[in-house]
Amino acid sequence: MPWNALLASDLQARAGWGQAIAQQIRSRAEWGAVPALDAACLHGWGAAAPATAAPWGMPWGWVPVCDMGLRGSWGNRLRPLDVRLRLIYNPKPAAKDAFVRGRARRSNEHGPRFDAAAAVEASLYVPGSSALSFSFSGQRYTPPSSPLVFFDFRYEPERPPIQPTDTGGQALRWESARRLNQRAWLPWGKARVLDGRLTELPYVDYPGPVKPLPEPPPDPTILDTYMIANTVNLVALPSRTPIEAKNIKIGLDADSFSWSFSADIFTRAALELVQPDAGGAGELELDINGWKWVVLVERYSRKLQFPTEAYTITGATRGQLLAAPYAPLRSALNSAPINAAQAAEGELQFTGFTLDWQATDWTFPAGSLSYQSQTAIQVIARLAETVGAVVLPSRDSDHIDIVPRYPAPPWEWGQVDAPIERIIPPAMMTDLGGEWTPQPAWNACYTSGTSVGCSMLVRRAGTAGDNPTPDVFDDWLTDQPANQARGTHELSKGGNIEIVSVTIPLFPFSDDHGVGLILPAHLYRVPEEAGPWVGLCLGVDISAEGTGAVRVRQQIKLERHH
């Protein structure tokens, strides 16, 4: 508050100035010395006694600056403190596996060779001519029990150092390997069980069976003129009554499971011997130059032409009994794993037929082999078709063979181990024709099962696999061998193909110098002057025209790959 004049207030309560009256004089205190108190608690000043100076004394010094740049470096900036808390390992921990370590020593590369025989001779004692020599007379030296002096003749040969062996002329220099046969390289993959190349040499380290090389087909005898006395006999079974016939034809192609037959007969009596009756279809036995067929007569027709009449009969071999309408329709589903050959043989149970499975075999898992309303031959034919095989029926017995349509891929037909069946010389050909039917040059094929099985890309070795065939999907491709066989079959159908038609005579069955009967799904070599080539038989048709001195011909179709 600022200084100014005080306002007059309560003037009436003011007291005038006057002399004060002295009161309470007795309570005044005089100035004097202060009395000393608590003299017993007096602490005197003096020199302080040193306490815990040795262990806890910390000298003043310059503290170094740390963590200036967050850099870590080794130094002796920090001084050891609390030396008494230092830990000393006692005893020292024992070394583990110290006794198993091996010491490395250098071998004696350049020293003289150690001779063990010379070392033994050096260890033998040989008495000399000196004053101190011993002669043991061929006996072992044995010192007395308490001699004054005895001798120790023990010899411990020095342990020779290790020396290298065969160091001279056996050195091998390291260098990059040479590349040979780069076209023949094989990629590593999962191994597959294969028959391999055919050979007559047994494998030393292979105890299994060895496939011998196929015997080369015999060379037919080449003559200027072939004189064949053809014999054609047709008899009714079981009476074996001869039947006069003409224009007899019988043939088979690779896609059929029975031989087809047709003939012309002349009389009604002959027709009654072969026409169907309550016992079933009539049976005939056909013999052409010793080659026999047993056929079933399924159809016949009559042709009237004054003054004669003629009857035509058609039929097939006994393989037709496995198809409709002779064989019943069946449905099945495998409850356990089974292979294809077993499944095919199971279809022929109680039928009297036998089967020889020569194609690729594979396994069906449980529940993967199923079909509905199929005859026995339909199931067998589908099994064969799955791996690119065909059904080859017998001519005169209840037997069928399952063989690959291509015994070998076309690119292997020119090799030594190609399974050639016969040689057809051009000198025996009466007719020759050809039809050019080229196909794409496929080099890869993708095969796969559907619900069960596996898939595989089959590629021709040595190619890029850049021209694949249409993909193949089949319910019964359930195993790796089946996929590989089917893919190889599809690749074999491609390339520059020519269908060659050849007509040759049918040589007698007992003639070893002729060609004989040509069968489908077999390879035949044709040694032409321009160069030999191999063809696959697709079908054969045999005709016996006329009566009496008939002319017998067989016309075959060969698939040739250029």
Give the pLDDT of residue 37.
65
pLDDT tens digit sequence for 378-390: 999 999 999 999 9
The answer to which of 43-47, 166-170, 463-467, 530-534 has the lowest mean pLDDT is 166-170
Higher pLDDT, residue 16 or 245: 245
Give the pLDDT of residue 145.
72
Instruction: List alpha helices for 387-493, DSSP H.
Output: 480-492
Give me the residue label for tokens 């001279």.
168
Q: What is the DSSP pairing of strand 444-448 with strand 472-473?
A: parallel
The CA distance from 483 to 490, in Å, is 11
Give the pLDDT of residue 68.
55
pLDDT of 540 > 80? The answer is: yes
| Residues 6 or more apart in contact with residue 383 via CB below 8 angstroms | 340, 343, 344, 402, 476
pLDDT tens digit sequence for 236-249: 999 999 999 989 99
Give the pLDDT of residue 375.
95
pLDDT of 404 > 50? The answer is: yes
**Confidence band (pLDDT; 50, 70, 90) for 137?**
confident
pLDDT of 22 > 90? The answer is: no
The CA distance from 347 to 336, in Å, is 16
Give the pLDDT of residue 193.
46
Using alpha carbons only, how large is the chain's radius of gyration in Å? Answer: 58
pLDDT tens digit sequence for 86-109: 555 555 555 555 555 556 666 777
| Tokens representing residue 224 in the block | 């200027």
Coil, strand or helix: which one is 488? helix
pLDDT tens digit sequence for 459-482: 998 888 899 999 999 999 999 999
Dihedral (C-alpha) 534, 540, 546, 552: value to the nearest 10 degrees? Answer: 40
Q: What is the DSSP pairing of strand 282-288 with strand 291-305?
A: antiparallel
How confident is the model over 56-81, as a mean pLDDT?
58
Give the pLDDT of residue 303.
82
Would you mind telling me the total number of residues written for the chain in this entry? 562
pLDDT tens digit sequence for 325-355: 999 999 999 999 999 999 999 999 999 999 9
- Name the phi and psi angles at 44, rounded to 5: -90, 150
Considering the entire predicted model, what is its pTM?
Answer: 0.63
| Residues 6 or more apart in contact with residue 280 via CB below 8 angstroms | none
For residue 533, the number of C-alpha atoms closer than 13 Å in the C-beta half-sphere is: 18
How confident is the model over 190-214, as a mean pLDDT?
57
